[in-house]
Structure 1
Amino acid sequence: MPDERQDSLIPVRFLKPPVQRVELTVHFVASDAVQASHVAPLRELWIGSYPKVTERAPTPADDVPSDRISVVDEESHWPIPYTRYSSSVNRRSVAYQGDRFTVSWGFDEESGAPYPGFDSLFQTMQEEFGVFSDVLMRSDIKIGIVRSNCRYSNRIQGLSASQLAVGVLTRWKGQLDVADMDSDYVGVRLHSDDDNRRNCASLVSVDAHVGQDPMLTISVTQSGETEKLNGIAVAHDEVIDKFLSYTSPTQHESWGRI
């Protein structure tokens, strides 16, 4: 998990954090509609680092109902697709559409791709978002961040899905000797809004499929206009707090807390 707690005098670090995937996302508003021609230079800038490019329909805005049908008339700007640049070598990808930008990573210590710590990820996010912003500025398009999201997915070994679910629901104060559910999938969701006066909302989830280690995912969204990706740093601090709350001291020891 995140290797450092920013608001503590004593940093929290783990020698072997269980992090499997991290996504850092900023949602933005642009001074003009972002068009394909505006982002075209990114292909040349990123093709060396991210040789694979995929496109799909853009993700609807969070405030748009999932069943809403919209019609683009001839006077409207055609939305750019959700575009992802990725590399299997460094297990990293950069994705964007007209209102958001994401950098994501995959980690697997057993295959030689350990989690390097949040500072390294944050630096990469700053660099790639800087490239994206600079390219848009060539077309006199300015973007302002209005929401930031930090999402960590962790593979929890040594427990069944049912045990992890009970542990998370009871904050590890209950009995974990529960029988596995006779089901192909086990899932738990805990959502909270603005419980910390930092304009953050969190979603803690447990997911597991038969034959796989359960995953503990913590996603924190910080709302409000920010500069220099400060919202990502705030959301990361909250992810750490949630991680420490929803995992046990025994687990911390097994991951090499120092």
Structure 2
Amino acid sequence: MWRAVVDATQGDAWRTRQLPYSRTADLPRFERPPVREVSMAIQFPQLELRAVDLGRLRELLQDRYPEVEERAPVPLQVENFARGHRLGMQFQFALMERPPIPMLIFTSVDRSSLVQVQGDRFACAWRRTDTVDYPQYETLRQDFVRNAVLFGNFVEEVCGVDIKVTQAEVSYVNDIPMSDGIRPDVLAKALPSLYSHDSARPEISAVNISQRLTFRTTDRGGGVDYARLHIDAEPVLTDHEPVLRLSLLYRGEPYERDQRSPGLAPLMGFFDEGHDQIVRGFAANTTEEAHRLWGRIA
């Protein structure tokens, strides 16, 4: 599926030329966003992998991700777009004749970058550390392309099959400080209070939110649902201070349903669209005061 990408590569510059990222002109940008974690992941039918096969994958990733953790595989969360079906996601459990392989987490030396692999899911993630700040989406995107190509070639080598991506997702988790009188959540200012009749009513410090936005193609006949943006926020007490944890996740079907192996470029286009919607959702659910604090550019 993705072997041709690797065979023709001449380093990261080739990948950038072949899978370019073009940022939308009016997309907000922040110099100091409160991003805590970012993940880009794909899901696919269960692969016929054995635990012994994972040794080869470790060899391929060892230079950049020398640390390895082993955990139990997690059930997939799947968006169901069937008409008449209850809105939302499902947990999907694979039926297998043999015990599932473990989920392996390959981690960089500084613990900020990682690759997660299990029999039906592949993910690249970044997390903030005391020494590493958010590197911007463009850098994370390049890391995903490099690692996805490597994993795709590994699957072809070991299993003799292409990866058939069924769903993809990109997610951002933000920890927004609520100290110094800053109320970053728009709803805290917009929603009416139970005490609205009282001029001395207590101030709303934070509001839990949960939104689901479904995206549809513009085809004739009403189009087809293909992705959802999940926006969730709740107050959380961390080790250092109270924060508003604002999570945004864009998940769905990256390819047209009659396509079999359309390649990596459409998948990256889906991620780019998801990142675009996440940034807009983040900006819409936070205040102008907070934007100034984070150094909003556009």
State how many pairs are aligned.
239
1:209 is aligned to 2:234: no
Report the alpha carbon displacement of residue 55 of structure 1 after superposing the two structures with TM.
1.4
Q: Is 1:42–2:62 an aligned residue pair? A: no
SS at match of 2:74: coil
Write the distance in 1 (CA, Å) between the matches of 2:283 and 2:43. 27
SS of the aligned residue for 1:217 comes to strand
What is the identity, as a one-letter code, of the residue corresponding to 2:229?
S
Partner of 2:15: none
Q: Bigger shift: 12-21 or 47-56?
A: 47-56
Q: CA deviation at 1:105?
A: 0.8
How far did 1:84 drift?
Answer: 0.7
2:106 to 70, 85, 92: 85
Counterpart residue type for residue 24 of structure 1:
M
Pairing 1:181-200 to 2, within 5 Å after superposition = 188-195=208-215, 197=217, 199-200=226-227
Instruction: Find the counterpart in structure 1 of residue 248 from structure 2.
Output: 218
* Cα shift at 1:144: 1.7
Q: CA deviation digits over 1:183-215, x for unaligned, max 9? A: xxx883413141464722122122312643222
Among candidates 141, 153, 177, match of residue 157 of structure 1: 177
Give the structure 2 partner of residue 121 of structure 1.
Answer: 140
| Aligned counterparts of 1:233 and 1:227: Cα–Cα separation in 2 | 15
Q: CA deviation at 1:157?
A: 2.0
Q: Distance in 1 between matches of 2:244 and 2:22?
A: 24
Counterpart residue identity of residue 219, structure 1: L
**Contact 1:148–1:235 (CA under 8 A) maintained in structure 2:** no
Counterparts of 1:52 and 1:123, CA distance in 2: 21
TM-score (norm 2): 0.69
- Matched residue of 1:116: which SS? coil
Pairing partner for 1:238 from 277, 285, 294: 277
Report the Cα distance in structure 1 between the residues aligned to 2:169 and 2:92, rounded to whole angstroms. Answer: 24
Deviations 1:131-189 (A, max 9, x none): 1111111121210212111111112124599955xx3446x534796255xxxxx8834
Classify 1:33/1:113 alpha carbon distance in 2 versus 1 (closer, same or farther; 3 Å): same
Residue 235 of structure 1 and its aligned partner are, at CA, apart by 1.5
Change (3 A) 1:5 1:45: closer
Please state whether the residue corresponding to 2:177 is helix, strand or coil. coil
Choose which of 5, 8, 22 in structure 1 pairs with 2:38.
22
The change in CA–CA distance for 1:162 and 1:220 in structure 2 (over 3 A counts) is farther
Between the aligned residues of both structures, percent identity stands at 22
Change (3 A) 1:179 1:10: closer
The alignment partner of 1:48 has SS state of coil
Deviates more, 1:141-150 or 1:207-216: 207-216
CA 136–152 in structure 1, closer or farther in 2 if over 3 Å, else same:
same
Cross-structure match for 2:163: 143
Counterparts in 2 of 1:168 and 1:148: CA distance versus 1, 3 Å: farther
Over 3 Å counting, the alpha-carbon distance change for 1:62 and 1:152 in structure 2 is: closer
Question: 1:66 deviation in Å?
Answer: 6.6
Q: Identify the residue that residue 173 of structure 1 maps to in structure 2.
A: 190
Stretches of structure 1 that go unaligned for 5 or more consecutive residues are 181-185
Structure 1 residues 17-26 or 81-90, which shifts more?
Answer: 81-90
- The answer on whether the counterparts of 1:159 and 1:214 sit within 8 Å (CA) in structure 2 is no
CA contact (8 A) 1:39 1:135 kept: no
> Alpha carbons of 1:95 and 1:71: their partners in 2 closer, same or farther (altered >3 Å)?
closer
Q: Do the aligned residues in 2 keep the contact of 1:38 with 1:135 (CA within 8 Å)?
A: no
Aligned counterparts of 1:204 and 1:112: Cα–Cα separation in 2: 28
Secondary structure at 1:29's aligned position in 2? coil
Alpha-carbon RMSD across the aligned residues, in angstroms, is 3.3
- 1:191 & 1:161 partners in 2: Cα distance? 25
